[in-house]
Structures are given as C-alpha cells and as structure tokens.
Structure 1
Amino acid sequence: MSVKPESASPLFAGPFALATLSAPDRPRFPALVTPDGLVLDLRSAFGDERLTVLDLLEDWPTTLPRLHALAADTGLGRTPLADLHVHAPVEPRQVLQSGANYRQHVIDLHVAHRAPGDDRPEAERRAEAAEIMDRRAAEDLPYVFIGLPSAITGPYDDVVLPAWAEQPDWELELAVVIGRAAHRVSVEEAPAYIAGYTIANDLTDRATVFRRDMPQIGTDWLRSKNAPGFTPLGPWIVPAESIATPDDLRVTLKLNGETMQDESTKDMIFKVARMVSYASRTARLLPGDLVLTGSPAGNGMHWGRLLRDGDVMDGAITGLGTQRTRCVAEAS
C-alpha cells in the first residue's frame, strides 16, 4: 500500500521527473511526472510497450530533449499520480555506496563506537576524529563499497526489519543516477555523466557492521546493509539540470514526526563530482547505476534510539521530493 504525503507545494524541482508507477490493473510502467502530480505513460508516448526507466537512461542525451518536449505538450492525456503506486524509480545494475563522507556524522560515530578500554574524554576523541577527517580530505581518499540492487524497495513501501537485526538504523542520503557509461572520468568531467538525483535511505544494522569473529577482516556490508528492502529509493529521478547546487541540499529525516537528521550536503567531505569520479577510477559505471553519497549526522546510534516495529520514517531532500516508509518487524 502506498503512503503519500499530502501537499499543495510542487513535488520536486524543475518541469518534470521520471518515475516507475503501477496500478492494480496496470503493470509497472515508466512515467513522466509533473510537479503538480500529473502523469504521462512513457510507453505510450515512446511507442514501446517494453520501455523502462533504465532504457531511457541508456540513451539519456537523446531522451532528455524528448522528455522536455513531452512535458511542454499540454495536449497529451495525463492521469493523477494519486491513483497510482510509486515504485523505486529505476532498477540499477550496480549500486555504489559511500561511507564516512559527512564530517559531523563520522565524528559522532567515532565517539559512539568507543573501543573497549578507551576512557579518554569525549572532547579528546572528537578532536581525534576531526583530525582523521582532515587527513582523509587532504589525501583525497573517499570510501566507496558495493551494495546490492535486491535491497532496493519503493519510497512508500513497508520496510521489514529482519529478526536477526539487533540495531537497525536509518541513513538518508543523496543518490546520484548515472546517465552515461563512465570509466576513469575526471572530477571536472563527472557532472556530464550524471542524469539526475534521487533519495535513498541506506538502512544499516549497526550490530553486524563489524565481524566480531574475524575482526581483522573489518566491515561486513553484505550482512549489515543488504537485507531485502533495506534501501528505500525515490520517489523520482529529478534531472541534474533541475538541481543547481547538489553540494548544498538540505537532507532531513523524521522518525515518527521528530526530526533526527537535518543537514546540508555542504557537510560532505567529498562532493558529488568527486564521488562519481572516484568510483569510476575502478568500476565502469553504467547508465542507471546509483552512487550513494553518504549519510549526514543524526543517525540512531547518535540518538541512542534504533528502529522498531511500527516506526515511520519521513525523508526529504531539497528539490527531490519526499519518501515515507513504515518499519514492520519480521514475522517469527
């Protein structure tokens, strides 16, 4: 069941966005959505009954002007968004995730994850974390790892908390959607490879981030981040040209109506173009791939309050819309 917040304000920045929608009598289809909540079925508009959002991103330089023309054509038949179910806007082939990319967030985690026997004052440990962040920035070393597309779910779908997850936490993030195959692109070139942006909530079970049985291995991102539905995505892909300053967007997450995260992407250590360029150094990024840019401060570990059955998360990023997901405990 979809849970869509009611609002008279525009749903997103710019003249249109891309979405994947469905209805009980209508399978998933790619759609052009206007800021006032009207929908154009792009399968009909493009004359291709098998068309997906990924197909549109595969030929983004050609697709974008066609979408502008369709958005401007007020004579085309459109339907209300309220009658449709909103799914994750794209099914990517690859998901690249950024860790430790918000200065204040990393400092908070450094303090929260105190090593056994470390009895230093909090101020001293915060200063140490700040020094580490400054060194990482100076040495130009982002931290990127791989997620699973199977963890993605819709922006209004329920999130099932696995019975084994002892400390499920939220991490609202700006997600970059790739629009051209990118390999070894420079920071200056990177923006030309970005089709648009969307919202991701990169849920994490804090209890399984580190392998206690084999601490020398380090982090276990498969276990801690990739349960089915652990990455609510969307609601839409807003074209990059509609987001003038991706490095200064407000990221906000509310838990049961209470604000937990409220930070600007200005706090990112490595900005959007740098993250895309860095990921492309090793991987060949493909159209439709996601690059998650990290989570700002205000996670559950900071507040001493992790996710529970019945919790509702409302996430928003400037110009990209909102998502609302409800947590449901896994049936035993």
Structure 2
Amino acid sequence: MKLARIGDPGAERPAALHDDGTWRDLSGVVGDVDGVLLGGGPAALDAVREALAGDLPVLEPGRFGPPVAGIGKIICIGLNYRDHAAETGAQAPAEPIVFMKAADTVVGPHDTVLVPRRSTKTDWEVELAVVIGATARYLESPDDAAAHIAGYATSNDVSEREFQIERGGQWDKGKNCETFYPLGPWLVTADEVADPQALRLTLSVNGESKQDGTTADMIFGVHHLVHYLSQFMVLRPGDVISTGTPAGVGMGQGTYLTEGDVVELEIEGLGAQRQEVGQA
C-alpha cells in the first residue's frame, strides 16, 4: 500500500493509492499518516485497506507533502556505501556512523531546496528512508528488525559540505539547514518491498546523471541498522532512518548546487522527487 499526504504545507490530507490509480482521501478514516497510525500495527493498516476497498472520495494529487507527519527524529547513517566511502577518500567504517537530522528539515518531495546563505558547497544525496512502525529497544538481533519497520520512502539528504566538514565540531551544521530533507512522495508499506537490499537509486542534476547505485552495496544493511540503533536509542513509530548514499555526490566531483539547478531523484518502486534549487 502507498500512503501519502496531499495538500498545501500545513494543510495536507492523508491519502492512499487505490487500485484504479486514483488517490483516495483518508481524512475520514485516520487523523494522519503519523506515528499513531503506523504504531497501530497490522490492525491499523488493515482498517485503512478495508476503507480503501469502499467508496472513499478521490483526492486530486496536487502537491505531495512529506508522507509522514509528526516525525520524532531522523537518524542518518554516514559513509554506508563502499563506493561513496571510496570517493571521499575514507575507509569503510567498522561500525555505522550515526548523526541526527532535525525533523523541521523535512519538506515535500517537489518543494524548493534552499541554498543557505554564505554556502558554497550545497550537495545532494539520494537515500533510502526507513520508517519505523513499532517501538524498538534493545532488539536481540537483526532478524527482529523487519517487524519494527512500517515502510520505506525516497529521501534526499541535502548537505552543506563546508559547514559539515570544514567549520569544525560535529556534522550537524551542514545537515540541518532548512529544506534539507525532501521526503516522499509516498510511504510504501513494508509488505510491498520484497527486499530492501535490492533497490536501485538514481539522481541527476540539470538532466545529467550523478548517482546510479543499489542498496545491495550498503556496508550495513537495513535490518542491521535497525538492530544496531536500538542498542543506543529507542526507535518509535514515525521515526525515520536515512540509510546513506551511493557514490556520485557533489563532494566527490567538486561540483555543488546553485540557485536555478534542478535535482531529480528516484528509488525503484518508491517514487521520484524533483526539486528546484532556490536561495535562502
């Protein structure tokens, strides 16, 4: 099942994709696509499926907002593809590199991405986003992870490399500028993703291919990451894990985003994004 939130910023309505290809309004069924719904487990999603089989009103697909509302936290994984680590001159990490991204960086998949003031190195990163659907704390093994995943989405972990790397301190300064996490267009429930380690990720800038990789090249796979993170923090319904990016980022090529650029990215089966770049 594909779940989305459609409408102007702050006024999005929950929606689900019908078999006939139309989006149906779920606002009479659920409050929103959020941690409450996702944390309700199979019964909550089954209720949505049952309603979707009925006569729900069609919702015209204008603007897609982020597919999850009220995100608690975004946990990001750095250097999680071997080819990306190589292009940055870094060794493959022995354990996942973890940093946080504020939930207020999240925007819709086609919203404008803003280059921060005084930025010279704003970069792109297509990433698989994992959305948590059940509270995970101290999981016994990666085998337990699947039961805690609600679904998957396309994301762009926009980064400012000078702020991140050259200004000292932690990476946070280069990761938390406004509009730096386009998410969506929709959440695909976990039952529709046969293997999260077999998805193609692509990204282009102004029509020129920059990234073309596969989640099979992750150093630490999705289930390993959910298990690993649960040893250090409680993962709650609606939390998002951004799982790293393949090679082809601007930092590896010495080229970066400027006002007027167009970024297009897609993950196989999870939908495409398109952002025009503006100036903060």
TM-score (ref. length: structure 1): 0.79
Q: Is the 8 A contact 1:311 1:327 kept in 2?
A: yes
Query: Within the alignment, does 1:89 sit opposite 2:67 as a pair?
Result: yes
Query: What is the match of residue 19 of structure 1?
Result: 4
1:56 to 2:56 alignment:
no
Match of 2:263 in 1: 313
Q: Which residue of 2 aligns with 1:40?
A: 24
Alpha-carbon shift at residue 211 of structure 1 (Å): 4.9
| Alignment partner of 1:100 is 2:55 | no
Q: Secondary structure at the match of 2:165?
A: coil
User: Could you tell me how far 1:276 is from its partner in structure 2?
Assistant: 0.9
Note closer, same or farther for the CA distance 1:180–1:210 as it changes in structure 2 (3 Å cut).
same
Matches within 5 A, 1:1-332: 16-22=1-7, 27-34=11-18, 37-46=21-30, 51-54=31-34, 55-73=36-54, 75-81=55-61, 84-91=62-69, 92-110=71-89, 129=90, 132-133=91-92, 136=93, 139=94, 141-185=95-139, 186-212=141-167, 214=168, 217=169, 220-330=170-280
**Equivalent position amino acid for 2:67 in 1:** P
1:68-90 Cα offsets, whole Å, 9 max, x none, are 223333x4332332xx2210111
The CA distance in 2 between the partners of 1:62 and 1:80, in whole Å, is 27
Compared with structure 1, are the counterparts of its residues 188 and 169 closer, same or farther at alpha carbon in structure 2 (3 Å cutoff)?
Answer: same
Secondary structure at the residue paired with 1:209? helix
For residues 270-295 of structure 1, what are the alpha-carbon distances to aligned partners after superposition, in whole Å with 9 as ceiling and x for unaligned?
00001111111111011000000001
Structure 1 residues 224 and 58: alpha-carbon distance in aligned structure 2, compared to 1, 3 A threshold? same
In structure 2, the gaps of 5 or more residues are none
Aligned-pair CA distance for 1:209: 1.6
Q: Hey, which bits of structure 1, 4+ residues long, moved more than 3 A?
A: 34-37
Higher relative helix content: 1
| Contact 2:25–2:56 (Cα < 8 Å) also in 1 | no
**Contact 2:26/2:56 (8 A) holds in 1:** no
- Determine the C-alpha separation between the residues in 1 that align with 2:145 and 2:133: 11
Superposition deviation, residue 164 in structure 1: 2.0
Check the 8 A contact 1:248/1:265 in 2, yes or no.
Answer: yes
Q: Deviations over 1:128-187 (max 9, x none)?
A: x5xx32xx4xx5x11111110011111010111111222000011000000001111120
Residue 244 of structure 2: SS of its match in structure 1?
coil
TM-score, normalising length: structure 2: 0.93
Conserved? CA contact 2:99–2:172, under 8 Å: no
Equivalent position amino acid for 1:79 in 2: L
Q: Provide the rounded CA distance (Å) in 2 between the counterparts of 1:28 and 1:178.
A: 21
Fraction of identical pairs, as percent = 39
Deviation per residue, 1:241-280 (Å, 9 max, x gap): 1010110100000111111000010110000001111111
Is contact 1:18-1:238 (8 Å) kept? yes
- Aligned partner of residue 40 in structure 1, secondary structure: strand
Larger radius of gyration: 1
Q: State the distance in 2 between where 1:62 and 1:228 align.
A: 36
| Distance apart, 1:308 and its partner CA | 0.8
Q: What CA distance in whole angstroms lies between the structure 2 residues aligned with 1:170 and 1:107? A: 17
1:329 to partner: Cα distance = 1.7
- Inter-partner Cα distance in structure 2 for 1:211 and 1:310: 25
Structure 1 residue 37: Cα displacement: 4.2
Determine the C-alpha separation between the residues in 2 that align with 1:310 and 1:196.
33
How many correspondences in the alignment?
A: 277
Amino acid at match of 1:61: P
Structure 1: give runs of 5+ residues left out of the alignment.
Answer: 1-15, 111-128
Question: Does structure 1 retain, via aligned residues, the 8 Å contact 2:15–2:59?
Answer: no
